[in-house]
A and B are shown apart, each in its own frame.
Chain A
Amino acid sequence: MELGRLWSGSKPLKIGLSILVFLVLVALLQPFINRMLLGDVNPLTMGKFESYLDPSPQHWLGTDRWGRDWMAQLVLGLRYSLIIGALAGSVATFIAVALGFVAGYKGANTDAILRTLTDMILVIPTWPILVTLAAYIKALSVPVMALLLAAFSWPWAMRTIRSQVMSLRRQPYIELAKISNLGDLEIIFQELVPNLLPYLALGLAYSMVGAILAETGLELVGLGPGNIVTLGLMINWALRWGLLTLGKWQMLFAPVICLILLFVSLNLINIGLEETFNPRLKRITGA
């Protein structure tokens, strides 16, 4: 695949990818950034600094109610939000791919069963269930949270993948593969998957966005995993402590902007991928 052309072909893709890479780098380098900002201090330790300090060269975003450096927490929160998004997104995509391919390729009864299953989950109102389950599960750790989110976000991606597979299934090169004695699995992995990589990437990006959004929502109502800090939790705190009335608007906006950047970058990547790959898939041949 011509990756170089991929990169240069689409402006949204370039921008989105740049932002995302930047954010991911920040998240990955969190320990180093933390050391740079605070030395060896755990950013969640309370009382290390004075509460509600204004932004200064020592504390770029100031400190919060319990004297914790807000910037350091932002970086940590970004890291955890991304981790949850990536985990949940990956699991969801994995399920969606497995079910989507099987349903799309096999068709007939298998498809009917899988589609019904998918539709059932699609119509379940996700939000109330998430809230209920999150409130019920006492020990809500990161992996459990991710699984929870994944469990409800795979149907959309599954349907997209399924319909793509169904449309490709009729392609002449699939028929050629069949008469070349390729088995079903071989056809799925060797013939279909490579052509669907852009859609899989798209699916992954959408799942991640969905997961982070859902997680943020849960955090906002205080139902997230309590032992880690995420961007959503930070927004929750900012609202609870009434930071706006205190005039500390930068502390509320920082995590919000971070989230916005994340969503914007993922959506730009989506747009960019569609832009690049749709004309490709419809390539006009010069005979």
Chain B
Amino acid sequence: MDATPLLEVSNLSKVYVTGRGLVGRGEIRAVDNVSFTLPGDKPTLVTMVGESGSGKTTIARMILGLTPPTAGTIHYKGRDIWTMNQQEWAQYRRHVQAVFQDPYGTYNPFYKIDRVLELPIRKFGLASSREQARELANEALRAVELRPDDIWGRYSHQLSGGERQRIMLARLYLLRPQLIIADEPVSMIDVSLRAAFLNILLNFEQEYGMSCLFITHDLATGYYLGGQIIILCQGRIVEMGSMDAAVHNPKHPYTQLLVASVPPPDPKERWQEDFDLKLSELRRSPELAKGCVYRDRCPVIGEKCSDVPPTMVTVEENHQVACHLYV
């Protein structure tokens, strides 16, 4: 059995420096010492949940090679991606692909939709003739339940958001990556069109063995996908493990807040009591980074929380928390 993890992120950090000279330098730790692993022996679906400023998109961009990290490493099947040579990088691009958030912006408005499918076939040499390429693309469209005749020759503005995102999945079907980085892929499409997309993603995992790092701010969507969860707060992981464990038995106060904030879609399950939320929203400052980044809002703040950043501990099987309550 291949024990090398598919993806190993170790101590990853991304720090932005702000201000210069007279104004004084400050830094924003968009991603702060993040570590997690996707196993190599079976396909996994990991949902990365975080709000704005959590660093989730920055992590995605670093894994995709679009932004270099300030510190830490990302290993794909044992190789550090930031030290790969040209060839290895081309392979990496083939095996680690993405779906982005904006169903309109990912299509170059100058070209027809066709190009989105034809380009990867050409660039990665997936077919040896035009007919073969077309056949491959048709098969991909059918795999995401789209009719090829409805798609060829169209421009992106002639299709719905849901269809556009599914074409992105068709593109993934062509490439059969090992890992899909999905950055908020359904937040900009209508609710009624999301299920189709999510179900295809699940299908890709089960039938074609594609692992997925699914990034979202919507816990309910992540819960539907099941699998694993990583919860980010201000660039740090506060809780991770199995989705069910984290949602039904949340340990970190932030996770508890997130779970309590998802409005149940049933009038019979209305919130009965007012949830008392501390007023201040999370600020960022180097001083804050010295301890736990959640302490401004935490209802159970303790002594150590201001001085020492909490480390990740295991509270039960497949469930870890970074919080001084659990040391």
Note all chain B residues with C-beta closer than 8 A to A181: 90, 93-94, 123-124
- Binary interface profile of A, 147-190, with partner B (CB < 8 Å = 1, else 0)? 00000000000000000000000011101111111100000000
Q: Give the A-B contact count at a CB cut-off of 8 A.
A: 64
Contact B110 A195, beta carbon cutoff 8 Å: yes
CB distance from A171 to the nearest CB of B (A): 6
Across the interface, do A173 and B105 meet the contact criterion of CB distance under 8 Å? yes
In the complex, A283 Cα to B105 Cα: how many Å?
11
Nearest neighbor of A285 in chain B, beta-carbon distance: B104
What are the residues of chain A within 8 A of B189 when measuring CB–CB?
287
- Evaluate contact between B100 and A194: CB separation under 8 angstroms: no
B103 touching A175 by the CB < 8 A rule? no
Residues of A with C-beta under 8 A to B65 = 178-179
**Residues of chain A within 8 A of B156, CB atoms compared:** 285
Q: Are A195 and B109 in contact (CB under 8 A)?
A: yes
Taking CB atoms, residues of chain A closer than 8 Å to B284 are none
Q: What is the bound-complex CA distance between A180 and B111, given in angstroms?
A: 16
Q: B108, A180: Cβ atoms under 8 Å?
A: no
1/0 contact trace for B92-124 toward A, CB 8 Å? 011001101111111111110000100110011
| Selected contact of A182 from candidates B66, B107, B123, CB within 8 Å | B123
A176 touches B100 (CB 8 A): yes
A194 touches B106 (CB 8 A): no
Cβ contact within 8 Å between B106 and A287? no
The one of B119, B157, B160, B161 that contacts A180, using a Cβ cutoff of 8 Å: B119
Label chain B's interface by main secondary structure: loop
Please tell me if B244 contacts chain A, counting CB pairs below 8 Å: no
A266-287 vs B, Cβ < 8 Å mask (1 yes, 0 no): 0000000000000011010111
Tell yes or no: B245 within 8 A of A by CB: no
Chain B minimum-CB-distance residue to A195: B110
User: Contact partner of A287 among B98, B100, B108, B190, CB < 8 A?
Assistant: B190
- How far, in whole Å, are A272 and B120 apart by their CA atoms in the complex? 37
Q: Does B64 contact A (CB under 8 A)?
A: yes
| Assembled-state Cα–Cα distance A210/B109 (Å) | 31
Task: Return the contact of B105 from the options A171, A178, A179, A180 (Cβ within 8 A).
Answer: A171
Contact with B along A183-207 (1 / 0, CB 8 A): 0000000010011000000000000
Q: How far is the CB of B87 from chain A (nearest CB, A)?
A: 12
Within 8 Å CB of B107, what residues of A? 173
Contact A283 B157 (CB under 8 A): yes
Which residues from B are CB-within-8-Å of A287? 103-104, 160-162, 188-190
- CB nearest to B193 among chain A residues: A287
- Cα distance A172–B161 when bound, in Å? 15
Contacts A180-B120, A182-B123, A287-B103 given; indicate if A175 touches B110 (C-beta within 8 A). no
Interface string of B146-186 (1 = CB under 8 A from A): 00000000001100111000000000000000000000000
CA distance A285 to B124 in the complex (A): 31
What 1/0 mask marks residues of chain B from 51 to 91 whose CB sits below 8 Å from any chain A CB?
Answer: 00000000000001110000000000000000000000010
Interface residues of A in 71-121 (CB under 8 A from B): none
CB contacts (< 8 Å) of A180 on chain B: these are 93, 119-120, 123
Residues of A within 8 A of B123 (CB): 180-182
Q: By the criterion CB–CB under 8 Å, are A179 and B190 in contact?
A: no
Contact of A172 among B97, B102, B111, B160 (CB under 8 A): B102
Are B109 and A283 touching (Cβ within 8 A)? Answer: yes
A178–B181 Cα distance when bound, in Å, is: 14
Q: Flag if B98 contacts A179 (CB, 8 Å).
A: yes
| Shortest beta-carbon distance from B12 to chain A in Å | 19
Instruction: Report the separation of the CA atoms of residues A180 and B116 in the bound assembly, to the nearest whole angstrom.
Output: 10
Q: In this complex, what residue of B is CB-closest to A1?
A: B110
User: A177 vs B107: C-alpha distance in the bound complex, in angstroms?
Assistant: 10
For B93, what are the chain A residues with a Cβ–Cβ distance below 8 Å?
179-181
B9 to chain A, nearest CB (A): 18
Tell me the bound Cα distance from A286 to B120 in angstroms: 27
**Cβ of B180 to closest chain A Cβ, rounded Å:** 11
CB atoms of A175 and B66 under 8 A apart: yes
Chain A nearest CB from B172 CB (Å) reads: 11
Residues of B within 8 A of A286 (CB): 157
Q: What's the least CB distance linking B126 to chain A, in Å?
A: 12
Query: Known interface pairs A178-B66, A181-B90, A285-B161. Does A173 touch B124 (Cβ–Cβ under 8 Å)?
Result: no
Task: List 17 additional contacts besides A182-B123, A194-B108, A195-B108; criterion CB under 8 Å.
Answer: A1-B110, A172-B106, A176-B100, A177-B108, A178-B65, A178-B66, A179-B64, A179-B65, A179-B66, A179-B93, A179-B97, A180-B93, A180-B119, A181-B90, A195-B110, A283-B109, A287-B188
A–B complex contacts, Cβ < 8 Å, 17 sampled: A171-B105, A172-B105, A173-B105, A173-B108, A176-B98, A178-B66, A179-B64, A180-B93, A180-B119, A181-B93, A181-B124, A182-B119, A195-B108, A195-B109, A285-B157, A287-B160, A287-B161
Which B residues are closer than 8 A to A by beta carbons?
64-66, 90, 93-94, 97-98, 100-111, 116, 119-120, 123-124, 156-157, 160-162, 188-190
Closest CB pairs A-B (n = 7): A287-B161, A172-B105, A194-B110, A172-B106, A173-B108, A181-B93, A285-B104
